[in-house]
A and B are shown apart, each in its own frame.
Chain A
Amino acid sequence: MDDRLLAPEAVRLDEHAANRDDAIRRCGGVLVEIGAVDPAYVTAMLDREQSISTYVGAGVAIPHGTTAGKAAIRRDALAVVRFPAGVDWGGNHVTTCVAIAAQGDGHIELLADLAELLLDPERARALHEAADPDDVRRLLLSSAPN
């Protein structure tokens, strides 16, 4: 599996957030912790969310930065951050975030896989309920190039 695009330490299964901005800060914080972005990127993620929601359906949001925020990206990476108690995302209930930092297109296959996964209720449930970070990575990296 692709350890750089979605690293084991970038999968967090039991996080808590008081609201949407708090959840985005947590997501951005994970991208900072794994060395993918500078802290300025988190502000860009909050800005992006203000313009158009990154909610994509089935309890999943994909927070990411703006064009201007791309300068704060050190390397392309994703993080999966789950909030079991749920977060109100502009009227939608979100329990899983797939946070994105990308200057290139290497993550597009993974996102296309995510979209197909979310259209399948059984696999979507597996993403929300998987107890092991490696299971989450397997669900998302099934057809990504290694």
Chain B
Amino acid sequence: MTTINGAAVRKVVIACDAGMGSSAMLAGQLRRQLGKHSVAVEHTPVDTIPADADVVICHQGLAERARISAPDTIIVPIQVFIGDPAVTRVVKAVQTGGDLDG
């Protein structure tokens, strides 16, 4: 289990397979919500997660591959790409400086 404070998050990566569908949709939403907090939001294939990612969000079906790809990074698995409470927790932690586990 890794922990990071929301105020220290500089890059959030949405990991996916093709990266043109639901992950792109979520990246677009998060960019709007986190852009003003100087947090970069990228979407990348799950097997090539960049080393400077602070938090990785991915569908729960990809979480194991994400953990192998980025073993020291917070992994936040989600079930739905619109309105998932886990995504809301990430946004809130960045906005208010709370801790994130994963």
Contact = CB atoms under 8 A, between A and B. Distances in A.
Interface of A: 48, 51-52, 54, 56-58, 62-67, 69-70, 100-103, 105, 107-109, 111-116, 118-119
A54 B59 CA distance: 11
A64 B21 contact: yes
B14 to A, nearest CB: 11
Given A48-B18, A67-B45, A119-B83, A111 B61 contact: no
Interface in B47-102: 59, 61-62, 80-83
Among B20, B25, B27, B83: residue with most chain A CB under 10 A: B20
Nearest to A113: B28
A118 B28 CA distance: 14
Most chain B beta-carbon neighbours within 10 Å: one of A56, A58, A109 = A56
A58 B82 contact: yes
Interface string B1-39: 000000000000000011111101111110110000000
Q: How large is the interface on B (under 10, 10 to 19, 20 to 34, 35 or more residues)?
A: 20 to 34
B29 A116 contact: yes
Contacts of B26: 115
Contacts, number: 74
B27 A108 contact: yes
A52 B71 CA distance: 23
A102 B25 CA distance: 12
Given A62-B22, A107-B24, A67 B82 contact: no
Contact of A57 (B19, B62, B81): B81
A108 B42 CA distance: 11
A52 B18 contact: no
A111 B29 CA distance: 8
Given A56-B81, A112-B32, A119-B82, 9 more contacts: A48-B17, A51-B17, A51-B61, A64-B21, A70-B18, A105-B24, A113-B28, A115-B81, A119-B83
Contacts of B62: 52
Contact of A67 (B17, B27, B31, B80): B17
A70 B25 CA distance: 18
Contacts of B21: 48, 54, 62-64, 100, 111
A70 B24 CA distance: 15
Given A57-B82, A62-B25, A67 B18 contact: yes
